[in-house]
């Protein structure tokens, strides 16, 4: 990420560098916004605000998807995830009540945060590893741009990854049946006769 | 060539298994048929074996081992499922199955009113099987198996009426004393194996003379240990106290087990191991000494008992003492001949007593009997024959066998005057107490006014008659028996010594004993009371069986019980139970500690998951 | 474009989601932090799919989105069933499986 900065610092300012710089800074800003939004998710007292922050996070991620040439996925993220799933979340929050949660700072929370900090450090160790195999894929930026992102994904999905696709649809069916049986109201019979 | 001899074992075993499983479903007659039929079949097979054996020449008769299955075949130890068919085992089998068959037939009538009819015959068949196994075994291993099984059968049959506490206690006492003998036998088998490397009779006896010199330590050790077993099984002093109590069982049991067969197993043992015993003269002295001492000891106790079966029990003990005297001085076939005749007249005595008890409705006290002479004629006459045979009255079977023993106790190499003297004294005592019993039971007038004795049915009197004729005429079998058994005892036949002086003294003392009984009991009561008054302290000691039971109780039983109680308290409850309970308790404590971890809170579980993830990543990255 | 940045962001959002799951008591907020974690993984996959020039990452991310949607639906139904009749939304109070 910092090579562009180095290049810019060397005042090697040509068109490519400037575009690269702007793009890099934009990505950086969106990424930081995503992180801040996620912080907001966990730190808000009211669940409604947490949900809204989550929607913001998802939109930031969609923007990032666009930067990574995954246009189809970006649209799917906004439409399905931020659109349908989060709306469902908001409905449930509205149904169950959105009381504000009081803060307390217990030892458990400290321990949890400590563990997660360790986790973060360990995950960053992956930075030292780098790529484990050479780049040999065919789906470069230009190749996708010829067919268009959605079509490229479609060709890949329905040919090489057909079975996961079918299984995912099956999973959705099972989930639908499951929630109907879980959350339905029990059927009460209507009184046949009224009391005299 | 005696391959069919296995039937002798299989038929009673089949009878036992059949009667145990289906005995309750058969009718009474069926049970009796199966029970007696199996033993009768075994007897017939024994006769066939005898016939086959008589076809062989005498030196071919020894050492026929019929192997059913080679069981253990390792380089250091071979053991086969085999039986040994030689004159000694055939002789014992004749006695066991023959007299056993007669007693089974008798039991059909005697146990007719008993609700546990089939169980009785099942146990009796088990006993015949075990005794046959004991005498037919080809090695020490199966001898001990048969020995222990016979003890088991004795226990089951003595305690047959389980609701009678005294019977159960007597059964337990008999079993414990038998086990003491079993321990001796097993250790003897170990020592035999150590010296000879095998447990087969054929191999051991062939190598005996080359392995041991006379009075060698090994020979003494083996023979003494075998004697522990023999004395326990045959109820000699000091392991004799179980036999009087064993009379709590039904009378056919007493007749079969404690008169004719099981208690003679000790004599059989000494006869079978005669090669070993001849190499240990000290032990032979011990055998003869203990035998003749028991003869007098038991005879003296029989003088004053008033339970009809106990008198006969002490008489058994005494006669077996005579058998041990015979094998102890080296005339083995004389002892075995006496075994056979004793089986005849002692079984007859017991069966006759059973007939009397059955007729009087369970009465066993002779002071309440009397005058049965006219009511039960067959029993009367057969009982008289048996009593004469037991006392050694001339020309009965008992006379021939007993007189031979008494003569040999002086004339044999190992015999001496002391043995002879005590044997003669024992003969006198025998005559006295036998006829005392006879007069009390059958003569005079009835002392129990309410009884209506009647003669027993044919199924009971038939065996009485057969045994009676055998007791009268069995004497002719003597020479044939000695000749038949001689190959087993290295060709030794006891010679008939013409010693008129000793013989006449013997016969005179025996007749004197009978005459004393006549004098005291048949001619008025005042002499009896006079004798009782004069000898009152002696009477007390004799009546309480020399207080041996009390001595054993004080010195042995009570300490053992105290140790047992102590061990139960401390070792069992505080020791073993504590450890086992603690295993469970500690598991419970540990699981209680671990279950704190299971709080039911989702967040805690998630924290554990994260912690685990961190740890695993640590391992993945760094290691 | 290199992958260090996307790795950093993805790791950060993942850890923030984990912290949120461990800290909050409201079951809905906990569920939302789970969604955060799933989203971070999606981001990572897409970033690397571009870097490795292969469409497998995007396909995987699509499937993850499908599964996440199904999971959200079922999970919310469960939360609804549990917490509808009680009137406090506190995950610590359902500890019937304690012990």
SS3 sequence of B79-121 = EEEEEEECHHHHHHHHHHHHHHHHHHHHHHHHCCCCCCHHHHH
Please report which confidence band the pLDDT of residue A83 belongs to, taking 50, 70 and 90 as the band edges: very high
Q: What is the mean pLDDT of the segment spanning B285-311?
A: 88
Give residue-wise pLDDT tens across range B428-441.
888 888 888 888 88
Give residue-wise pLDDT tens across range B420-429.
888 888 888 8
Hey, which residues does B103 pair with through a beta bridge?
none
Q: Give the residue from chain B lying closest to A126, CA to CA.
A: B621
Is the four-CA dihedral A166, A171, A174, A179 of positive or negative sign?
Answer: negative
Hey, which residues does B70 pair with through a beta bridge?
B80
Distance from first CA to last CA of chain C, Å, rounded? 52
Task: Check CB contact under 8 Å for C20 and A34.
Answer: no
Global pTM value:
0.68
Supply the pLDDT for residue A2: 63
> Is 80 exceeded by the pLDDT of residue B366?
no
Exposed / middle / buried, residue B590 (Cβ in 10 Å: 0-12, 13-18, 19+):
exposed
Give residue-wise pLDDT tens across range A29-79.
999 999 999 999 998 888 999 999 999 999 999 999 998 888 899 999 999
**Residues of chain B with a CB closer than 8 angstroms to some CB in chain C:** 595, 598-603, 606-607, 610
Please report which confidence band the pLDDT of residue B410 belongs to, taking 50, 70 and 90 as the band edges: confident
d(CA B359, CA B116): 20
> Is 90 exceeded by the pLDDT of residue B156?
yes
Q: What is the mean pLDDT of the segment spanning B491-498?
A: 71
> Is 80 exceeded by the pLDDT of residue B561?
yes
> Is 70 exceeded by the pLDDT of residue B159?
yes
Q: What is the mean pLDDT of the segment spanning B317-338?
A: 89
Task: Check CB contact under 8 Å for C23 and A57.
Answer: no
> Is 90 exceeded by the pLDDT of residue B130?
yes
Task: Check CB contact under 8 Å for A111 and B610.
Answer: no
Q: Cα B286 vs. chain centroid, distance in angstroms?
A: 20
Task: Check CB contact under 8 Å for A81 and C39.
Answer: yes
Exposed / middle / buried, residue B262 (Cβ in 10 Å: 0-12, 13-18, 19+):
buried
d(CA B295, CA B317): 7
Q: Are C62 and A161 in contact (CB under 8 A)?
A: no
Supply the pLDDT for residue B168: 92
Mention every residue, 6+ apart, whose C-beta is less than 8 A from residue B239: B177, B180, B181, B228, B231, B232
The closest of B425, B416, B424, B406 to B499, measured between CA atoms, is: B406
Mean pLDDT score across all residues of chain A: 82
Supply the pLDDT for residue A56: 95
> Is 50 exceeded by the pLDDT of residue B294?
yes
Supply the pLDDT for residue A57: 95
d(CA A83, CA A89): 10
**C61 Cα to chain B: minimum distance (Å):** 23
Mention every residue, 6+ apart, whose C-beta is less than 8 A from residue C34: C17, C21
Phi/psi of residue B139, nearest 5 degrees: -150, 170
Supply the pLDDT for residue C1: 45
Please report which confidence band the pLDDT of residue B526 belongs to, taking 50, 70 and 90 as the band edges: low
d(CA C17, CA B127): 85
User: What is the rounded (10 degree) CA torsion for A106, A108, A111, A113?
Assistant: -70
Give residue-wise pLDDT tens across range C3-31.
788 889 999 999 999 999 988 888 999 99
Q: Which residues of B touch C33 (CB under 8 A)?
A: none
Supply the pLDDT for residue A63: 94
Supply the pLDDT for residue A170: 94
Q: State which of A38-42, B523-527, B539-543 shows the largest mean pLDDT.
A: A38-42
Supply the pLDDT for residue B124: 92
Which of C29, C91, C96 to probe the B interface (max B CBs under 10 A)?
C91
Hey, which residues does B73 pair with through a beta bridge?
B78
Q: What is the mean pLDDT of the segment spanning B467-473?
A: 86
Q: At what angle do helices B526-534 and B536-543 cross, to 10 degrees?
A: 80
Supply the pLDDT for residue C69: 92
SS3 B70: strand
**Residue among B604, B607, B621 whose CB faces A115 most closely:** B607
> Is 80 exceeded by the pLDDT of residue B412?
no
Give residue-wise pLDDT tens across range B209-265.
887 777 778 888 888 999 999 998 888 888 888 888 888 888 899 888 877 777 789
d(CA B23, CA A146): 98
Supply the pLDDT for residue A135: 65
Q: What is the mean pLDDT of the segment spanning A145-167?
A: 86
Exposed / middle / buried, residue B607 (Cβ in 10 Å: 0-12, 13-18, 19+):
buried
Which of A35, A40, A68 to probe the C interface (max C CBs under 10 A)?
A68
> Is 60 exceeded by the pLDDT of residue A1?
no
Q: Give the residue from chain A lying closest to C50, CA to CA.
A: A68
> Is 70 exceeded by the pLDDT of residue A132?
no
Q: How many CB atoms lie within 10 A of CB B60?
A: 12
What percent of chain B stands above pLDDT 70? 97
Please report which confidence band the pLDDT of residue C82 belongs to, taking 50, 70 and 90 as the band edges: confident
Task: Check CB contact under 8 Å for B603 and C92.
Answer: yes
Instruction: Identify how many contiguous H helices and E strands chain B contains and give both numbers.
Output: 27, 2
d(CA B255, CA B100): 9
Task: Check CB contact under 8 Å for C98 and B610.
Answer: no
Task: Check CB contact under 8 Å for C76 and A112.
Answer: no
Q: What are the tokens at C62?
A: 């699509």
Q: How many CB pairs under 8 A join A and C?
A: 224
Q: What are the tokens at B568?
A: 């139960």
Mean pLDDT score across all residues of chain B: 85
> Is 70 exceeded by the pLDDT of residue B307?
yes
Supply the pLDDT for residue A11: 67
The closest of B122, B389, B114, B355 to B251, measured between CA atoms, is: B355
Q: What are the tokens at A61?
A: 């991620």
Cα–Cα distances (Å) from A127 to A65, B494, C7, C56, in that order, read: 21, 111, 8, 22
> Is 60 exceeded by the pLDDT of residue B101?
yes
On whether any CB of chain A is under 8 Å from the CB of B609, the answer is no
Chains that touch B (3 or more CB pairs under 8 A): A, C
Supply the pLDDT for residue B481: 84
ipTM over 0.95: no
């Amino acid at each position: 990420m910092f090579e562009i900065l180095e290049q810019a610092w060397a005042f090697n300012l040509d068109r490519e560098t400037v575009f690269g710089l702007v793009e890099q800074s934009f990505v950086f800003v969106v990424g930081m916004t995503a992180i801040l939004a996620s912080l907001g998710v966990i730190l808000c007292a009211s669940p409604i605000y947490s949900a809204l922050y989550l929607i913001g996070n998802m939109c930031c991620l969609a923007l990032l998807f666009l930067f990574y040439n995954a246009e189809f996925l970006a649209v799917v993220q906004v439409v399905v995830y931020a659109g349908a799933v989060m709306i469902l979340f908001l409905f449930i929050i509205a149904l169950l009540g959105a009381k504000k949660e009081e803060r307390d700072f217990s030892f458990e929370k400290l321990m949890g945060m400590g563990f997660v900090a360790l986790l973060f450090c360990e995950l960053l160790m992956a930075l030292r590893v780098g790529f484990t195999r050479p780049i040999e894929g065919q789906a470069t930026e230009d190749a996708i741009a010829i067919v268009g992102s959605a079509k490229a994904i479609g060709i890949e999905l329905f040919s090489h990854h057909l079975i996961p696709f079918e299984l995912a649809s099956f999973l959705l069916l099972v989930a639908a049946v499951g929630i109907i049986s879980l959350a339905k109201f029990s059927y009460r019979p209507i009184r046949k006769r009224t009391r005299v | 060539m005696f391959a069919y001899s296995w039937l002798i074992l299989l038929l009673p075993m089949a009878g036992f298994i059949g009667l145990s499983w289906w005995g309750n479903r058969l009718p009474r007659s069926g049970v009796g048929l199966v029970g007696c039929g199996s033993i009768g079949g075994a007897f017939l097979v024994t006769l066939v074996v005898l016939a086959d054996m008589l076809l062989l020449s005498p030196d071919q008769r020894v050492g026929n081992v019929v192997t059913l299955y080679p069981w253990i075949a390792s380089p250091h130890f071979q053991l086969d499922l085999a039986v040994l068919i030689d004159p000694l085992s055939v002789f014992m089998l004749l006695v066991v199955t023959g007299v056993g068959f007669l007693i089974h037939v008798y039991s059909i009538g005697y146990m007719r009113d008993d609700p546990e009819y089939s169980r009785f015959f099942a146990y009796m068949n088990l006993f015949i099987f075990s005794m046959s196994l004991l005498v037919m075994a080809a090695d020490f291993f199966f001898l001990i198996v048969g020995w222990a099984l016979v003890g088991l059968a004795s226990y089951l049959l003595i305690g047959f009426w389980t609701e009678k506490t005294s019977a159960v206690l007597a059964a337990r006492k008999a079993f414990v004393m038998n086990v003491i003998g079993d321990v001796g036998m097993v250790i003897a088998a170990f020592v035999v194996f150590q010296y000879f490397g095998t447990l087969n009779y054929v191999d051991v006896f062939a190598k005996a003379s080359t392995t041991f010199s006379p009075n060698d330590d090994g020979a003494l050790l083996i023979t003494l240990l075998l004697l522990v077993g023999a004395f326990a099984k045959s109820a000699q002093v000091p392991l004799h106290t179980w036999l009087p109590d064993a009379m709590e069982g039904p009378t056919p049991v007493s007749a079969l087990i404690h008169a004719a067969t099981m208690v003679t197993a000790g004599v059989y043992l000494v006869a079978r191991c005669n090669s070993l015993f001849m190499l240990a003269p000290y032990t032979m002295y011990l055998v003869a000494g203990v035998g003749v001492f028991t003869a007098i000891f038991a005879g003296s106790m029989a003088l004053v008992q008033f339970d009809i079966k106990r008198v006969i029990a002490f008489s058994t003990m005494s006669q077996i003492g005579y058998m041990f005297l015979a094998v102890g001085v080296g005339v083995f076939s004389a002892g075995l001949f006496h075994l056979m005749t004793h089986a005849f007249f002692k079984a007859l005595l017991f069966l006759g007593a059973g007939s009397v008890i059955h007729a009087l409705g369970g009465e066993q006290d002779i002071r309440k009997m009397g005058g049965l002479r006219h009511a039960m004629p067959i029993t009367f006459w057969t009982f008289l024959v048996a009593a004469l045979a037991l006392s050694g009255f001339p020309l009965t079977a008992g006379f021939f066998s007993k007189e031979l023993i008494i003569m040999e106790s002086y004339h044999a190499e190992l015999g001496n005057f002391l043995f002879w003297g005590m044997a003669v004294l024992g003969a006198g005592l025998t005559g006295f107490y036998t006829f005392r019993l006879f007069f009390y039971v059958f003569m005079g007038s009835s002392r129990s006014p309410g009884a209506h004795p009647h003669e027993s049915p044919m199924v009971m009197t038939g065996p009485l008659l057969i045994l009676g004729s055998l007791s009268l005429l069995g004497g002719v079998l003597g020479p044939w028996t000695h000749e038949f058994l001689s190959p087993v005892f290295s060709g030794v036949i006891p010679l008939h010594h013409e010693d008129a002086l000793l013989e006449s003294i013997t016969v005179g003392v025996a007749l004197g004993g009978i005459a004393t009984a006549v004098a005291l009991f048949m001619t008025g009561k005042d002499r009896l009371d006079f004798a009782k008054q004069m000898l009152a302290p002696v009477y007390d000691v004799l009546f309480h069986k020399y207080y041996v039971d009390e001595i054993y109780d004080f010195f042995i039983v009570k300490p053992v019980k105290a140790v047992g109680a102590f061990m139960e308290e401390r070792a069992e409850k505080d020791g073993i139970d504590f450890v086992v309970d603690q295993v469970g308790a500690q598991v419970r404590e540990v699981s209680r500690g671990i279950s704190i971890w299971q709080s039911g809170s989702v967040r805690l579980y998630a924290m554990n998951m994260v912690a685990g993830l961190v740890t695993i990543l640590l391992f993945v990255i760094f290691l | 474009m290199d992958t260090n940045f996307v790795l950093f962001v993805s790791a950060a959002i993942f850890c923030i989601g984990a912290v949120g799951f461990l800290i909050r008591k409201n079951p809905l907020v906990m569920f939302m932090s789970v969604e955060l974690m799933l989203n971070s993984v999606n981001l990572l996959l897409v970033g690397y799919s571009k870097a490795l020039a292969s469409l497998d990452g995007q396909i995987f991310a699509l499937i993850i989105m499908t599964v996440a949607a199904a999971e959200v639906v079922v999970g919310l139904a469960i939360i609804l069933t549990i917490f509808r009749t009680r009137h406090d939304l506190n995950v610590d109070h359902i500890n019937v499986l304690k012990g």
